[in-house]
Amino acid sequence: MDLDTYQTSIKAGEIDYSYKWYVMAAVGMGVFLATIDGSIVNVALPTLERAYNTTFPIVQWVVLAYLLTVTTLMLSVGRVADMIGKKNIYASGFVIFTLGSVLCGLAPNVYWLVGFRVLQAVGAAMIMALGTAIITEAFPSSERGTALGISGSIVSLGIVIGPTLGGLLIQALSWHWIFFVNLPVGILGTWMALRYVPAVIPGIRQRFDFIGALLLFISLLSLLLGLTIGQNRGFGDPAVLGLLAIFAGGLAVFIRTELRQDQPMIDLRLFYNKTFSTNLATAVLVFVCIAGTFILMPFYLENVLGYDPRQTGLMLAVVPIMLGISAPLSGIISDRVGTRLISTLGLGILLVGYLAVSTLSTQTTTLGYLLRFIPVGLGIGIFQSPNNSAIMGIAPRERLGIASGILAVSRTLGQTAGIAILGALWSSLALSYAGGWIQGGATQAAPAIQVAALQVTLLVVSGIVAVALVINLWDLKNSREA
């Protein structure tokens, strides 16, 4: 069957899996584009702090503004895709993301950079919300774990190349090139999306729930702003408490509204399934830990151990390399033995890894750092593939877009919360250990103080992973008793 016939048969609702690997390649380009950008920016934060003569709380907005925008838009993107199809939205996301990347590289100051990151995030939301749905649709259910495991490996490839390439570009050229590098990838990805992503047209006419979308947008934005502003002002600040109250009230109104809608923004019946809810909850907790840890690691490696940006990028690559090795294998195994046991095993390994990482010190060697983070990467990879497969396996085909969006939001919501909460914890601990105030903020504290704060923060991270493990064990026990 040629590609044109393939596209026509998909429109008619006849799934032909012979082009599944072409679809994987097209989606892989989007995953690669989004992940390489995020990992490059993280390793550049210390450089951006110096280049713009700004502080840690301000430079964090280069990451946070991106995550805020992506998180608040992805569910709406997923819902629209379920209504009108995924292909055109996905391809348009490439164009917007690539344009935003070029503008980021030209930003004259940190505030313009934050603004262009918002534009970039609009495109990223269109890509990230739909990638998992497109893969799930293109592969038979018996190969879903394998396909999502490969997708996880592509994530790892982007994350590995990102810090390494970012460090080299910063050292050899300038930080501007960490954004310009997206241009060729974006152009190639746009062509591949237009060429290979099937134009699946939903057969049922649907309405978009504008009221639900607005309520959800206000609720998520209030939560994320409360978390990020609370990092600087403290979570007892009246403005922060007000934002969190708006989130709680808006979420309650949203749920009540959705339950009364014939065609809601989110089909809340998905959450009645314990497997769906449990796997989402553990995914959020894991991404809280990952993001909160890895926004701090570049500062530890550069400020405490004295590595340059290139070396820092290479050191950060150990986790995604291990993830890339373990994710496809865990996906293949979970297709044969089920998802619950494998994801639980991954969380157990991840807990061991974070407990080891909590012992980092001012004297840690390169080998010591790598040995501590190897089980972290393995644990994430073993957990992620079966977890994603379980979530997408619950959703009916006409809800794959919104399910993919929910999964993506769980990731970015966890990342935003992790950066805000764990970043604030580390910063407040460092300032407290230093006597309450340091000119230039926590990143200017003595290395011993930074490490002491980091060790406590990583023990908190270990506790969060332990909670996720308990939740998974509870779900595993219930599934065996059922």
Q: Is the pLDDT of residue 123 over 80?
A: yes
Task: Say if CB 122 and CB 72 are below 8 A apart.
Answer: no
CA dihedral 103, 104, 106, 111 (to 10 degrees): 110
pLDDT tens per residue across span 232-250? 666 677 888 888 888 888 8
Count the neighbouring beta carbons within 10 Å of the beta carbon of residue 358. 17
Rounded mean pLDDT, 185-211: 74
Q: What is the pLDDT of residue 356?
A: 93
Whether the pTM exceeds 0.85: the reply is no
Handedness of CA 359, 58, 230, 163 (dihedral sign): negative
- Percent of the chain's residues with pLDDT above 70: 81
Helix (H, G, I), strand (E, B) or coil at 338: coil
Q: Is the pLDDT of residue 9 over 70?
A: no
Q: Is the pLDDT of residue 87 over 90?
A: no
What b/e string do you get for 445-472 counting C-beta neighbours within 10 Å, with b at 16 or more?
Answer: beeebbbbbbbebbebbbebbbebbebb
pLDDT top residue among 205 and 198? 198
**Euclidean distance between CA atoms 140 and 292, whole angstroms:** 35
pLDDT tens per residue across span 161-197? 666 677 777 777 777 888 887 888 888 888 888 877 7
Q: Is the pLDDT of residue 206 over 70?
A: no
The full DSSP string for 107-172 is: -SSHHHHHHHHHHHHHHHHHHHTTHHHHHHHHS-GGGHHHHHHHHHHHHHHHHHHHHHHHHHHHHH
Rounded mean pLDDT, 187-212: 73
Banded model confidence at residue 462, pLDDT cuts 50, 70, 90: very high
Tokens of 201: 């047209």
Rounded mean pLDDT, 59-81: 78
**Euclidean distance between CA atoms 22 and 9, whole angstroms:** 16
pLDDT top residue among 430 and 56? 430
Phi and psi at residue 262, in whole multiples of 5°?
Answer: -70, -35
Angle between helices 339-357 and 447-481 (to 10 degrees): 160
Q: What is the pLDDT of residue 354?
A: 93
- Percent of the chain's residues with pLDDT above 90: 8
pLDDT tens per residue across span 406-421? 777 777 777 777 877 8
Tokens of 211: 């009221």
Count the neighbouring beta carbons within 10 Å of the beta carbon of residue 22. 17
Q: Residues 6 or more apart from 229 whose CB is under 8 A from it?
A: 237, 239, 240, 243
pLDDT tens per residue across span 265-274? 666 776 777 7
pLDDT top residue among 231 and 289? 289
CA distances for 369 relative to 218, 346, 387, 438, angstroms: 41, 20, 27, 28
